[in-house]
């Protein structure tokens, strides 16, 4: 800008000097003689004309240069704008690539394994990667709705590369700000403290809110850059939250199909699928396995005396006690009402009777606390049957266990029988 002003000044200065010199000479004593009266100094006139032409040419050239400079400046601005648009598009494409990659990773995990902790761990790792592209992710916490009272419980937290689960979490140190609001209103909440940005995002699958994911990220840069980063993080989290929600809900849905909601035991439907598998394995490999059928004695009397809520409490307490006293390889199922089935793999009749007797004694000595601190005691009857090569199908094995249970109930209850 300043160089252009200097050039224009110099161009105008040359003819100005010429005119000044001509004026000075015109009023000089030499020029006032009769010889020069009414004339103009020829050299000065010629020089003034040449400088005027020179100035005009320079001004034209300068004008053309200005036009070209303006065109060049406009082109540079256009290129810069195009570059900015391309960079923006590139960020958008990269974000989509990251989301597609994240989706693929979660899909692979779901196809290989549906263990809840594995899904949570991988989900939090991917969230950390997505948000770390724009800033330093400090922590990711997942809150899920409790199945009993619908409260939001922190079930996992990833911090400094380490994942902690519900049993390891110190809930007093878990930040739950905006979690309840995000869950109830099913929308993203953002709180800012200095350079810390705290995102609370609802997890919604099939129009059902299942929890909230909370991401704390440190963002650097000026206000405009931070605003851009926040917008991109929000887009990434909102898109990926849909995938996380389905990923988290998948094992939950599977669990619901095979689990009894009241007792937490496996369902009767799952029992038939499992016992068929064990039956075929035992037939193929000639290995033993046994079945226990359990019934809570006088359970109808408990319901009639104390009411169904107490009856449900008794059923839950007894099933917990039974599960606690089984081997890890054994599995318990709610067969119907107050009746429970236990599959004992690699266990012969003698071992099954011992296991049944151990469970019976534990229940017999157990006291259940009900309303107003009062306690009640219950007993169970058990029927045992063992697989053998002569059995044609699973129904034969179940029938023998049922008959054994019937015998235990008919001969006094609170005992173990096998036929």
Q: Which residue has the tokens 């840069």?
A: 221
Question: What is the Cα Rg of the chain in Å?
Answer: 44
When mean pLDDT is compared across 21-25, 142-146, 335-339, 391-395, the lowest value belongs to: 21-25
Answer yes or no: is pLDDT of 172 > 50: no
Instruction: Please answer whether residues 352 and 290 qualify as being in contact, where contact means their C-beta atoms are separated by less than 8 angstroms.
Output: yes
Q: Which residue has the tokens 């761990």?
A: 121
Please give the sequence-ordered ranges of beta strands (E in DSSP) within 87-240, or none if there are none. Answer: 136-145, 152-159, 162-165, 189-193, 196-205, 208-218
The pLDDT of residue 239 is: 77
The pLDDT of residue 293 is: 97
Chain centre distance of CA 137: 14
Answer yes or no: is pLDDT of 57 > 80: no
pLDDT above 90 coverage of the chain, percent: 29
Answer yes or no: is pLDDT of 406 > 70: yes
Answer yes or no: is pLDDT of 368 > 60: yes
Instruction: Please answer whether residues 184 and 195 qualify as being in contact, where contact means their C-beta atoms are separated by less than 8 angstroms.
Output: no
What is the pLDDT confidence band of residue 107, given thresholds at 50, 70 and 90? low
User: Regarding predicted confidence, which is higher, 243 or 18?
Assistant: 243
> Measured between alpha carbons, how far is 216 from 131 in angstroms, rounded to an integer?
9
What is the pLDDT confidence band of residue 361, given thresholds at 50, 70 and 90? very high
Which long-range contacts does 184-188 make (Cβ < 8 Å, 24+ apart)? 188/234, 188/237, 188/238
The pLDDT of residue 298 is: 93
Mean pLDDT estimate for the chain: 80
When mean pLDDT is compared across 100-114, 191-205, 206-220, the lowest value belongs to: 100-114
The pLDDT of residue 287 is: 92
User: Regarding predicted confidence, which is higher, 328 or 335?
Assistant: 335
Q: How do residues 285-331 score in pLDDT, each as one tens digit?
A: 899 999 999 999 999 999 998 888 899 999 999 999 999 999 888 99
pLDDT above 70 coverage of the chain, percent: 72
Instruction: Please answer whether residues 278 and 329 qualify as being in contact, where contact means their C-beta atoms are separated by less than 8 angstroms.
Output: no
Query: Nearest CA to 174 among 203, 143, 199, 210?
Result: 143
Torsion of CA 392, 398, 403, 408, to 10 degrees: 140
Q: How do residues 1-50 score in pLDDT, each as one tens digit?
A: 556 656 666 666 666 676 666 666 666 666 556 655 555 555 555 666 66
* pTM: predicted TM-score of the whole model, two decimal places: 0.49
Answer yes or no: is pLDDT of 86 > 90: no
Q: Which whole number is the average pLDDT over 130-153?
A: 76
Q: How do residues 121-136 score in pLDDT, each as one tens digit?
A: 888 887 887 777 777 8
DSSP secondary structure letters along 348-412: -HHHHHHHHHHHHHHHHT--EE-GGG-EE---EEEEEEE--TT--SHHHHHHHHHHHHHHHHHTT
Q: Which whole number is the average pLDDT over 107-117?
A: 62
Answer yes or no: is pLDDT of 332 > 90: yes
Instruction: Please answer whether residues 124 and 144 qualify as being in contact, where contact means their C-beta atoms are separated by less than 8 angstroms.
Output: no
Query: Nearest CA to 405 among 356, 350, 343?
Result: 356
């Amino acid at each position: 800008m300043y160089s252009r002003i200097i050039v224009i000044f110099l161009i105008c200065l040359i003819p100005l000097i010429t005119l000044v010199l001509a004026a000075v000479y015109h009023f000089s004593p030499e020029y006032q003689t009769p010889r020069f009266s009414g004339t103009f100094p020829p050299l000065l006139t010629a020089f003034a004309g040449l400088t005027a032409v020179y100035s005009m040419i320079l001004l034209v050239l300068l004008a053309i240069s200005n036009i070209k400079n303006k065109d060049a400046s406009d082109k540079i601005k256009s290129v810069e704008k195009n570059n900015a648009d391309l960079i923006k598009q590139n960020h958008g494409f990269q974000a989509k690539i990251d989301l597609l990659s994240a989706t693929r990773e979660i899909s692979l995990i779901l196809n290989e394994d549906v263990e809840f902790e594995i899904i949570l761990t991988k989900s939090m790792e991917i969230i950390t990667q997505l948000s770390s592209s724009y800033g330093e992710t400090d922590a990711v916490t997942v809150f899920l709705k409790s199945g009993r009272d619908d409260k939001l419980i922190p079930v996992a937290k990833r911090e400094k590369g380490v994942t902690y689960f519900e049993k390891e979490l110190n809930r007093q140190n878990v930040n739950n700000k905006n979690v309840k609001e995000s869950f109830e209103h099913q929308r993203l909440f953002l709180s800012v403290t200095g350079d810390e940005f705290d995102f609370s995002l609802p997890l919604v699958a099939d129009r059902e809110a299942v929890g909230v994911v909370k991401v704390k990220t440190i963002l650097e840069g000026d206000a405009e850059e931070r605003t851009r980063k926040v917008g991109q993080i929000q887009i990434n989290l909102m898109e990926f939250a849909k995938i996380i929600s389905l990923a988290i809900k998948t094992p939950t849905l599977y669990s619901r199909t095979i689990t009894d909601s009241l007792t937490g035991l496996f369902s009767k439907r799952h029992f038939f699928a499992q016992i068929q598998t064990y039956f075929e394995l035992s037939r193929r490999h000639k290995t033993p396995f046994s079945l226990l059928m359990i019934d809570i004695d006088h359970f109808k009397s408990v319901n009639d005396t104390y009411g169904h809520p107490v009856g449900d409490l008794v059923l839950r307490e007894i099933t917990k006690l039974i599960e606690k006293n089984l081997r890890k390889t054994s599995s318990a199922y709610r067969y119907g009402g107050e009746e429970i089935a236990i599959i004992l793999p690699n266990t012969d009749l003698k071992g099954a009777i011992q296991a049944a007797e151990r469970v019976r004694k534990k229940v017999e000595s157990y006291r259940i606390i009900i309303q107003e601190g009062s306690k009640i005691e219950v007993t169970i009857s058990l029927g045992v049957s063992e697989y053998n090569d002569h059995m044609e199908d699973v129904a034969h094995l179940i029938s023998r266990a049922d008959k054994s249970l019937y015998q235990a109930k008919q001969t006094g209850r609170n005992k173990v029988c096998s036929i």
